[in-house]
A and B are shown apart, each in its own frame.
Chain A
């Protein structure tokens, strides 16, 4: 897939993982300039949360940073924010209680930003299921409840993130797009 990002500055903040490295390459391949330490106000901000659930994490600083950048984008009159987060934002897992709580908080923050920064700035997120082998997102036990029956690929996540950066995708706002093979939609296990 190809999107038009020629001349756009993308800033990436948060954790560095195999997913964010691949996404940086994908954004560059579509014409964007990708920066981790940026001084200029970016056109697109990628906020990368930890995708492996090992305990909780402090999301408040990333939220504050996203809000600050978002308000500057709003003042300028344009911008996009894309959160890379977990599908556990939509449905908690018993074995990852703290992480599920934090992800749900990030989803509420995302929606709040979408409402307060619109119409100039669009805010959405990717909800990763189990991705990669070895897994770089999610928990491999999720696969038993995933109707597609396998882990997703890093490309699957990158493509969905590109879709959220696509300038032609301009009325989607305040949404979590789960990329989880159907893990979050219902009871996928066969008996």
Chain B
């Protein structure tokens, strides 16, 4: 779709990663000035250089001071914030184990980024958004595991379920002030992280991935661009009456049991 986001400033967190890059590019393609926010500043700078009028910004969303200085720098540069895409998130790679032996430090690390980080970023971006009084949009990138649980990643599952319900409570609170809040729950998406875990270099199915993909009606993982398109819709004036929703973009994986 093509929409008019001219005059809007959008922050995308985790924007140096595959999904974040695709989201940022679609927003920029449609006229938004985009902040490429990431803990990997070199990656953010390199990517921002490929977009018109984009700004790279170092933000560790789990660190309140880093969020505050990042948002201050964004306001200094662009003067306003209209759209926040809470895309940054992490999962456990090293500790694919059951809850009874799940390491405390890893639990804390994931919750701090995936849930606390979204709260900290939202709070910091909302202050100028609400003060300006021109409305706004927040789009949280959750996961299908927040709707249908999976094994061996309990903090990620809990954080994403929390994020989906946080989306609803934020939507109820902020709609009267003109800020709409929605979420996307992606299924399996081809990115650097999932490629290492589930797919071969060329994107073909590695290990037991074929078995898992048999559960997905579309029979393939999504692309980052296929996550970016629904984000663009939710960020646009076309979605003016969509609020508090979690749009599951998973190729039909959680629509039912495909057996």
Enumerate chain A interface residues (CB-CB to B < 8 A): 1-3, 111-112, 114-115, 118-119, 129, 131, 147-149, 152-153, 156-157, 159-160, 162-163, 166, 168-175, 177-182, 184-188
Given A169-B230, A171-B227, A177-B242: A148 and B175 within 8 A (CB)?
Answer: yes
B171 at the interface (CB under 8 A from A): yes
Question: Which residues 219-257 in B have Cβ within 8 Å of A in the complex?
Answer: 219-220, 222-223, 225-227, 229-230, 233, 236-245, 247-252, 254-256
- Which chain B residues border A179 with CB–CB below 8 Å? 241-242
Most buried by A among B169, B237, B244, B250: B244
- Pick 21 A–B contacts, CB within 8 A, sort by A: A1-B3, A1-B236, A1-B238, A111-B256, A114-B217, A115-B252, A115-B255, A147-B173, A147-B244, A148-B175, A152-B240, A160-B238, A162-B238, A163-B233, A169-B226, A171-B187, A171-B251, A172-B249, A175-B255, A181-B243, A186-B171
Q: Which of B168, B245, B249 contacts A171 (CB 8 A)?
A: B249
When chains A and B are docked, how far (Å) is the Cα of A163 from the Cα of B238? 9
Enumerate chain B interface residues (CB-CB to A < 8 A): 1-3, 168-169, 171-173, 175-176, 180, 187, 217-220, 222-223, 225-227, 229-230, 233, 236-245, 247-252, 254-256, 258
In the bound complex, do residue A166 and residue B229 qualify as a contact, i.e. CB atoms below 8 Å apart?
yes
CB distance from A182 to the nearest CB of B (A): 4
In the bound complex, do residue B176 and residue A185 qualify as a contact, i.e. CB atoms below 8 Å apart?
no
- Which chain B residues border A2 with CB–CB below 8 Å? 1-3
CB distance from A87 to the nearest CB of B (A): 10
When chains A and B are docked, how far (Å) is the Cα of A182 from the Cα of B178? 12
Q: Which of B1, B223, B241 contacts A163 (CB 8 A)?
A: B1
- Which chain B residues border A174 with CB–CB below 8 Å? 217, 252, 254-256
Apart from the given pairs A169-B1, A175-B255, A179-B242, 20 other A-B contacts in the complex at a CB distance below 8 Å: A1-B2, A112-B256, A115-B217, A119-B219, A147-B172, A147-B175, A148-B180, A156-B241, A159-B239, A160-B241, A163-B238, A169-B230, A170-B229, A172-B247, A172-B248, A173-B252, A174-B217, A174-B254, A185-B171, A185-B245
In the bound complex, do residue A169 and residue B233 qualify as a contact, i.e. CB atoms below 8 Å apart?
yes
